[in-house]
Amino acid sequence: MKGDHGNKPSGEGEINVDALLAAINEISESNIHRVDSDDGQRVSVDGRDYHTWRELAEAFELDIHDFSASEINR
């Protein structure tokens, strides 16, 4: 999956979810699980749930804009 086209806060743009999750996995070496939800954005990292990609990125001190489709294609 290259990006996420589901519901997301405006201004967040299309996020390369695979790249975001790979970066978090590299930083934390944690167990990352995508959780089925209506908006498709729910992720669990070592038992803690995150409900938006922005929330997840901020928890690991990452800038969500670094994972936007426009940034990756540069």
As for how many domains the chain has, the answer is: 1
Q: Is residue 32 part of a domain?
A: yes
The residue segments making up the domain with residue 51 are: 17-72
Q: Is residue 3 part of a domain?
A: no
| Cβ atoms of residues 71 and 65 within 8 Å | yes
Q: Is residue 40 part of a domain?
A: yes
Q: Is residue 2 part of a domain?
A: no
Q: 3-class DSSP state for residue 65?
A: helix
Q: Is residue 11 part of a domain?
A: no
| pLDDT tens by residue, 35-65 | 877 766 789 998 899 989 999 999 999 999 9
Q: Is the pTM of this model over 0.75?
A: no
Residues in the chain: 74
Q: Report the relative pairing of strands 43-45 and 32-34 from DSSP bridges.
A: antiparallel
- Position 41 scores a pLDDT of 73
Q: Cα–Cα distances in Å, from 4 out to 10, 37, 44, 47?
A: 13, 13, 17, 22
